[in-house]
Amino acid sequence: MAFFLNKNVKPDLSHPMFSGSGRYPLYIQVTYNRRNTQFRSFHRQSYTNLEEAFFSKEDNEHRKYEESLIKKVVEYEVKHLGKDFQLKGLNDRYRNYSEYIFNPIDKYFRDIIYNAIVKTNSEFFEILDPWKLQQVSFHIYYKAASNLINDLEKILPYGFSEDMKMGLEFLKWAEAQDELIKLIDWLDHSAINAYESYLVKKKHNEIQIKTMIEFINRVLKISVGLVVY
């Protein structure tokens, strides 16, 4: 894996420090089995030279973090796809795997709550449009819906309240971590191992831990179609 400035694109001449040489976007080249693919770094900055891209401590740490994520994605796919693994499309998959794990969990609960609201034919239907309320997390959305619709609990699926407790327990742990938990962190089991350790410290028994891990796995499969092996 290597970083480089893509000088095949039109340079950015708008930067106040422009001195005539232009600034170019930072790209990444990933090589596997003597084949390679190239795509732009998520750090959407332009530079006059590669040294500048790694000059600051913050930029350098970001490069290392981005590089580690890409390695995780490639190792995960090679492990589970074997000969079917392809570099083609890695850019898009890398973006998907790098999504914060809160998003599919939030979507999972929001969809269930919204589907229940639709069945009530409530006058508050438009007020509780989940896409207009994306700035609030799913548990606040649930509280609002429950307060406005008296019989909502009767329509929600069996076991919803238990699922909600597990979802909130997981997010409480995830939000306390030093770095955002990405989907790939869960898929490669590094986040699973860390979460299991947390649950052990919280005195959960083996059956409870297994249930809570399987719940997150189920959510990811339903919400974004990812299977945890």
Condensed to tens digits (0 to 9), the pLDDT of residues 113-146 reads 999 998 988 888 888 887 778 788 899 999 999 9
Condensed to tens digits (0 to 9), the pLDDT of residues 14-56 reads 655 545 567 888 999 999 988 999 999 987 778 888 888 888 8
Residue spans per domain, the chain: 2-87, 102-224
* DSSP of the chain: -EEEE-TTSPPB--STT--SS-BEEEEEEEEETTEEEEEE-SS--EESSHHHHT-SHHHHHHHHHHHHHHHHHHHHHHHHHGGG--STTHHHHHHHHTSBTHHHHHHHHHHHHHHHHHHHT-TTTTTT-TTTTTTS-HHHHHHHHHHH-TTHHHHSPTTHHHHHHHHHHHHHHHHTSSSPPBHHHHHTSHHHHHHHHHHHHTT--HHHHHHHHHHHHHHHHHHH-----
Condensed to tens digits (0 to 9), the pLDDT of residues 171-185 reads 999 999 998 999 999
Condensed to tens digits (0 to 9), the pLDDT of residues 57-93 reads 888 888 888 999 999 999 999 988 888 999 999 999 9
